[in-house]
């Protein structure tokens, strides 16, 4: 990254400026307040359940960061949400409201499991990249459909992407109850993938796998794409002001198609990672709403890759922290949903007030 | 001895950022029966002053005296209760509602029953001289009629003081005349009227009182009678600006054909006639003005020249084209905020938006920020864009500075044609003169300039030839010295029949 360091001196104009704008609008502050407030409310709820908030907090922090295993779990939980968040943000930055990361993730998982279970084991280490790429392709093609429908027929992408999520979810259900269910099995899951197709574990004694690294590297690449490539600046111009971009010759349709290909591919790899790094099979309901979480992560992170990493980490920590709450203090895991839902509520409320107050 | 003021703003001071007052100790008085014009450069603080009076901002110091009594406007609701109405530059109507529904929505409960039937509303509107169809959906109305709805809202709320922020920038000359007739009527009924405008002719012709603000300070406030446009300009900018400075061509015959439209047609829409079998040529070294009432094909003409529209029939040929077939043209679009700029990207990117993927600004798909910044700084200096640097967004700049960015980009295009559409809309006189000057210089330097505007004065000053559009066709062509009457007749289709 030495190249980017030399550029700091001349300034990353748009990057710094946009960050400054968000700061001056108090966005970062608002997000921090939203998170702090949700943590406080979450602990209050626990207090109401008769648990000492301080004890709960320490159990959670321990469960999320207290040991190597805890950190590994947190990162494993972060990974799919980061991938879907990145998928959502690249499309939204181009002005295309892709709410379909969940479906693209499902298809990506299908794309990964097919080669990982069916190709001859003799391919050896090639199986992993083939499965990942296949997941990316499945996700990308799934993401391309709403883009094509929009450009060709003007179909509203919000509705199409949202509905296609359910098609994706039920498609996986069909596959694992039918064609992909091993003969004689009663479980709604595919056969186990080849060992060579599994994502390598990174830290002995933890579940941490290479997928977490793939997710963070994807975030860095996306940041580079958005702020340091001509593609990224055109994509942002088209998203912010399509009419101005069009008059300066930016090919809006091509930009939307490419951003949706990238978006679908990222979500698809997210699904592939779940199969290749966590479950080692395709399982019905393997995604606990990762796609929808990802949308929340993207928006809470201000549609910035770095913001997405931070918020996804928070979501991951809440996930592993509340599992600890459940096992140590027998607190229902629904707490996790409350804790990750609250920041969105707070953020929306605070922003809503700001909007009403700031109205000219 | 003039009558006592109806309302006085006393010693208003307001700073959005500490230490940089936008308004500095401004005192002005508005009287019943008068049209009071407020003048000033872009960013002088005019809108801020009206917004404070209307309760949208609180002054840091100073106050409001209503018939000698001190009042405080914490919100627009307070101002409305004190019988103040405001017509904003960007309307505050519900676009999907009918005129009648919008009016009922704005009316206080006590008055609402009297607006129950559409016929009541139509009658009321007629009584103010503001005839309108109560059943019309607001979004389908032209801007001049939407403005009427806003005025009616104020009058239904029994406003005694009506504020207008740049009401005429969206109107064509005929609509402007009709608008001031309405204002005179409103004032004659004993109300006070305040108008912010950049058009000095309107002040001289219609206002009784004028106040000039320069960089937040009140420079003058007094009767209009006996003052000339030049006096106001001096107060506004602090030095003389020659408003009738010649914008002449070089005197040489125009050169080669740079752009030619042959028999182009574009389908009509509800708000526009489209284009019907129209031809036009543009030559090096000339400014060709396109005059006409809005909606007679100007927008389609601009979009064709920009390559953003393909004609249903006919051809558009430019001397040079982009790789994707669009004509190579420097563009100054009509809508500065939506079409001219990407308001949330930095000035540097906006200045080079048309070249952002070319060397040296990009290499192998990678942005070269150093080259972008260096070139943008150069362009900013040459065009005198007043901003801290090129890394801020144009959103926070005044209209004049925003337009300088758009024009600088158009000039920086490797094109021998420049097409501009309403290039001085919303700009103060000095900024407008500057834009006209630059366009004339571009033509004199050998470029071809297509100048589309609804401001006939400007067209007449800058153009070598004037082509008049009516119902989607070029119905006439006159040279730059033609009379206003001759052009006006063609604009309404008079000479075409
Ligand atoms: N809400 C705000 N926050 C910060 N600065 C503001 C705000 N509103 C206006 N300003 C600044 O205050 C100054 C005066 O703005 P104002 O809109 O009153 O100018 P104006 O005279 O109406 O100009 P124009 O002719 O361009 O409409 C400008 O420098 C503007 O940037
Ligand atoms: Mg203003």
Can you give the pLDDT at residue A54?
86
* Partner A contacted by B355 (CB < 8 A): no
Q: Regarding beta strands B362-363 and B366-367, do their DSSP bridges make them parallel or antiparallel, or are they unpaired?
A: antiparallel
What does the pLDDT look like over A179-209, one tens digit per residue?
999 988 889 999 999 999 999 999 888 999 9
The answer to whether A17 contacts B392, with C-beta atoms less than 8 Å apart, is yes
Residues of chain B above pLDDT 90, percent: 70
> Tell me, what's the pLDDT at A204?
87
Ligand 1 atom 29, closest CA: B43
Per the prediction, chain A carries an average pLDDT of: 87
Question: Which is the closest atom of ligand 1 to the Cα of B57?
Answer: 1
- pLDDT top residue among A6 and B362: B362
Give the Cβ contact number of residue B88 at 10 Å.
Answer: 18
Chain A environment of B377 (Cβ under 8 Å): none
pLDDT of residue A67: 92
Structure tokens at A189: 């899951």
Assign A24 a pLDDT band (cuts: 50, 70, 90). very low
Closest residue to atom 25 of ligand 1, CA basis: B42
Determine the pLDDT at residue A2: 31
Q: Is the CB of B47 under 6 A from ligand 1?
A: yes
Are the CB atoms for A88 and A298 separated by under 8 Å? Answer: yes
Whether residue A7 has pLDDT greater than 60: no
pLDDT, one tens digit per residue, over B178-199 is 999 999 999 999 999 999 999 9
- Joined together, the tokens standing for residue B194 give 């305040």
- CA diameter of chain A: 67
Nearest chain A alpha carbon to B309 = A247
Q: State which ligand 1 atom lies nearest to the alpha carbon of B41.
A: 25
Which one of B44, B200, B219, B403 would you pick to mutate in the ligand 1 pocket, going by the greatest count of ligand atoms within 8 A of its CB? B44
Residue-range domains of chain B with CATH: 7-237 (3.40.50.300), 244-328+414-497 (3.40.50.300), 342-412 (no CATH)
The residue whose CA is least distant from atom 17 of ligand 1 is B47
- The CA R_g of chain B, rounded to the nearest whole Å, is 24
Q: How close is the nearest chain A Cα to the Cα of B34, in Å?
A: 28
- Put simply, whether A249 touches B (Cβ < 8 Å) is yes
Q: What is the phi/psi pair of residue B313, to 5°?
A: -150, 165
pLDDT at position B227 is 92
Instruction: Report DSSP state, residue A229.
Output: B
The model's pTM: 0.85
Among B339, B366, B373, the residue with its CB nearest the CB of A229 is B366
B313-318 β-sheet, strand order: B275-283, B257-266, B313-318
Chain B residue with Cα closest to A13:
B391
d(CA B471, CA B276): 8
A18 neighbourhood in chain B, CB within 8 Å: 344
Closest CA of chain A from B84, distance in Å: 17
Q: Say yes or no to pLDDT of A10 above 50.
A: no
Q: Which of B15, B16, B343 to mutate to test the pocket of ligand 1 (most atoms within 8 A of CB)?
A: B16
Q: ipTM of this model?
A: 0.84
Low-confidence ranges of chain B (pLDDT < 70): 1-2, 494-497
Between chains, do B370 and A10 touch, taking CB under 8 Å as contact? yes
| Domains of chain A in sequence order | 28-356 (1.10.3470)
Side by side, which strands form the sheet with B473-479? B330-332, B417-421, B448-452, B287-291, B465-470, B473-479
Give the per-residue pLDDT at A1: 30
- Ramachandran angles phi, psi of B323, nearest 5°: -60, -35
DSSP per residue, A59-113: HHHHHHHSSHHHHHHHHHHHHHHHHHHHHHHHHHHTT-----HHHHHHHHHHHHH
Those of residues 203-232 in A touching chain B at CB distance below 8 A are 227-232
């Amino acid at each position: 990254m030495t190249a980017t360091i030399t550029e700091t001196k001349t300034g990353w104009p748009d990057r710094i400026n946009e960050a400054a704008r968000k700061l001056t609008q108090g966005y970062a502050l608002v997000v921090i307040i939203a998170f702090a407030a949700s943590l406080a409310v979450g602990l209050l709820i626990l207090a109401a359940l008769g648990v000492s908030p301080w004890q709960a907090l320490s159990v959670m922090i321990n469960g999320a960061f207290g040991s190597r295993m805890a950190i590994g779990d947190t990162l494993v939980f972060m990974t799919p949400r980061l991938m879907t968040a990145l998928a959502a943000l690249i499309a939204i930055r181009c002005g295309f409201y892709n709410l379909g990361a969940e479906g693209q993730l499902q298809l990506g998982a299908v794309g990964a499991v097919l080669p990982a279970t069916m190709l001859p084991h003799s391919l050896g280490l090639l199986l992993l990249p083939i499965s990942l790429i296949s997941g990316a392709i499945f996700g990308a093609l799934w993401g391309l459909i709403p883009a094509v429908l929009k450009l060709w027929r003007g179909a509203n992408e919000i509705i199409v992407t949202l509905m296609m999520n359910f098609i994706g979810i039920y498609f996986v259900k069909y596959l694992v109850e039918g064609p992909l269910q091993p003969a004689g099995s009663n479980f709604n899951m595919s056969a186990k993938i080849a060992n060579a197709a599994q994502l390598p574990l990174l830290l002995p004694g933890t579940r941490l796998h290479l997928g977490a690294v793939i997710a963070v590297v994807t975030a860095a690449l996306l940041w580079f794409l958005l702020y340091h490539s001509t593609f990224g600046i055109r994509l942002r111009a088209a998203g912010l002001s399509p009419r101005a971009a069009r008059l300066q010759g930016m090919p809006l349709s091509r930009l939307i198609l490419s951003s949706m290909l990238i978006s679908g591919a990222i979500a698809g790899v997210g699904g592939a990672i779940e199969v290749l790094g966590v479950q080692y099979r395709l399982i019905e309901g393997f995604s606990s709403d990762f796609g929808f979480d990802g949308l929340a992560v993207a928006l809470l992170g201000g549609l910035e890759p770095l913001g997405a990493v931070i918020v996804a980490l928070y979501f991951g920590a809440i996930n592993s922290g509340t599992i600890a709450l459940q096992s140590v203090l027998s607190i229902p895991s629904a707490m996790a949903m409350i804790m990750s839902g609250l920041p969105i509520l707070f953020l929306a409320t605070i922003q809503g007030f700001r909007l009403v107050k700031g109205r000219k | 001895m003039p009558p006592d003021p109806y309302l006085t703003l006393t010693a208003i001071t307001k700073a959005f950022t500490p230490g940089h007052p936008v308004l500095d100790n401004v005192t002005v008085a508005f009287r019943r029966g008068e049209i009071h014009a407020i003048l000033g450069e872009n960013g002088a603080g005019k809108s801020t002053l009206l917004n404070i009076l209307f309760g949208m901002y609180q002054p840091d110091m100073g106050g409001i005296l209503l018939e000698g009594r001190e009042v405080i406007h914490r919100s627009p609701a307070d101002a409305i209760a004190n019988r103040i109405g405001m017509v904003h530059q960007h309307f505050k109507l519900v676009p999907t509602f009918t005129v009648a529904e919008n009016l009922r929505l704005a009316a206080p409960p006590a008055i609402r029953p009297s607006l129950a039937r559409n016929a009541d509303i139509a009658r009321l509107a007629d009584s103010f001289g503001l005839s309108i169809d109560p059943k019309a959906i607001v979004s389908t109305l032209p801007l001049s009629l939407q403005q009427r709805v806003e005025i009616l809202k104020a009058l239904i709320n029994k406003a005694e003081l009506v504020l207008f922020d740049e009401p005429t920038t969206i109107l064509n000359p005929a609509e402007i005349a009709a608008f001031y007739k309405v204002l005179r009527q409103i004032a004659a009924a004993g109300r006070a009227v305040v108008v912010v405008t950049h058009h000095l002719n309107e002040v001289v012709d219609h206002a009784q009182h004028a106040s000039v603000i320069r960089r937040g300070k009140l420079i003058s406030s007094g009767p209009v009678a006996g003052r000339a446009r030049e006096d106001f300009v001096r107060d506004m900018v602090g030095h003389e600006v020659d408003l009738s400075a010649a914008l002449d061509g070089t005197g040489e015959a125009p050169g080669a054909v740079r752009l030619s439209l042959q028999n182009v047609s574009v389908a009509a829409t509800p708000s526009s006639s489209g284009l019907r079998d129209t031809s036009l040529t543009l030559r090096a070294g000339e400014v060709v003005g396109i005059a006409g009432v809005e909606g007679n094909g100007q927008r389609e003409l601009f979009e064709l020249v920009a390559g953003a529209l393909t004609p249903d029939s006919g051809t558009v040929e430019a001397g040079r084209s982009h790789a994707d077939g669009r004509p190579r043209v420097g563009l100054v679009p009509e809508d500065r905020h939506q079409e001219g700029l990407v308001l949330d990207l930095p000035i540097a990117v906006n200045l080079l938006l048309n070249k952002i993927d070319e060397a040296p600004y990009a290499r192998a798909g990678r942005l070269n920020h150093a080259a972008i910044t260096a070139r943008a700084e150069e362009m900013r200096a040459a065009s005198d864009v007043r901003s801290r640097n090129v890394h801020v967004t144009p959103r926070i700049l005044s209209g004049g500075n925003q337009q300088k960015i758009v024009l600088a980009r158009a000039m920086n295009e490797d094109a021998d044609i420049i097409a501009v559409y309403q290039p001085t809309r919303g700009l103060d006189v000095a900024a407008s003169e500057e834009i006209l000057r630059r366009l004339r210089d571009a033509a004199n330097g050998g470029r071809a300039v297509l100048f589309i505007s609804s401001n006939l004065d400007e067209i007449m000053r800058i153009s070598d030839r004037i082509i008049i559009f009516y119902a989607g066709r070029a119905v006439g062509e006159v040279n730059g010295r033609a009379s206003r009457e001759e052009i006006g007749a063609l604009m309404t289709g008079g000479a075409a029949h």
